[in-house]
Amino acid sequence: MKEKKLLGEERRTMLLDLLKSSREPLTGSELAAKANVSRQVIVGDITLLKARNEPILATSQGYLYMSSTGPAALAERIIACSHEPGDTQEELNLLVDHGVTVRDVRIEHPVYGDLTASIMVSNRREVKQFMEKIKTTNAGYLSELTEGIHLHTISAPSEKVLDEAEEAMRTARFLIEQ
């Protein structure tokens, strides 16, 4: 017997419950299977939930609910970087190896202004998954639109960890000095 499709509000309530209770990102395909609908329906539901100011973050690994209640606040900063597309994996690995989460990448586009994309990688496994997704989808990097210049929002348990990661980026010549 075929499982019943969840409709509208009931489905969105279930999606919120699943996202809130998960510590790991959930993919659109996983959510679609649980709700017995297509992934495209889930994409629409997530868009509606975001429009209601639900703190849902779309990452390269799936959707995350960004709860305001959680561990102690992390230190966070924005760093300016520049490198060739082929150095992206090295840059991300360098940061996560220092205990940093790379939250996003941002560029300043001459027509669209600030463009930001979520990355949300905290370890080499997540970096590898991100890089594989770039390769298999044949997607370009945002930084290719700005000749390699981009910003990252990074977070870590302390300012000291951020300082050490920033120094490693400087040593690797990925950091743009002010």
User: How do residues 28-46 score in pLDDT, each as one tens digit?
Assistant: 999 999 999 999 999 899 9
Whether residue 43 is found in the same domain as residue 124: no
Residue 1 lies inside a defined structural domain of this protein: no
Whether residue 159 is found in the same domain as residue 104: yes
Report how far residue 132's alpha carbon sits from residue 129's, in angstroms, rounded to the nearest whole number: 5
Please state the domain count of the chain: 2
pLDDT on residue 1: 47
CATH code of the domain covering residue 40: 1.10.10.10
Pick from 47, 65, 83: which residue ends a domain?
65
**Tell me: the pLDDT tens digits for 43-90?**
899 988 988 888 888 877 788 888 755 445 678 999 999 999 999 999
Whether residue 39 is found in the same domain as residue 95: no
- Residue 165: burial class (beta carbons within 10 Å; 0-12, 13-18, 19+): buried
Q: Is the pTM of this model over 0.75?
A: no
Q: Say how many C-beta atoms besides its own lie within 10 A of residue 137's C-beta.
A: 9
Residue 3 lies inside a defined structural domain of this protein: no
Q: What is the CA radius of gyration of the chain?
A: 18
Tokens 């940093």 found at: 100
**Tell me: the pLDDT tens digits for 111-166?**
889 999 989 999 999 999 999 999 999 999 999 999 999 999 999 988 999 999 99
Per the structure, the complete domain to which residue 25 belongs is given by 8-65
Report how far residue 63's alpha carbon sits from residue 16's, in angstroms, rounded to the nearest whole number: 11
What are the b/e assignments for 83-121, b being 16+ CB within 10 Å?
beeebbeebbbbbbebbbbbbbbbbeeeeeeeeeebbbb
Whether residue 80 is found in the same domain as residue 165: yes
Tokens representing 53 are: 């100011």
What's the chain's length in residues? 178
Give the pLDDT band of residue 6 (cuts 50, 70, 90).
confident
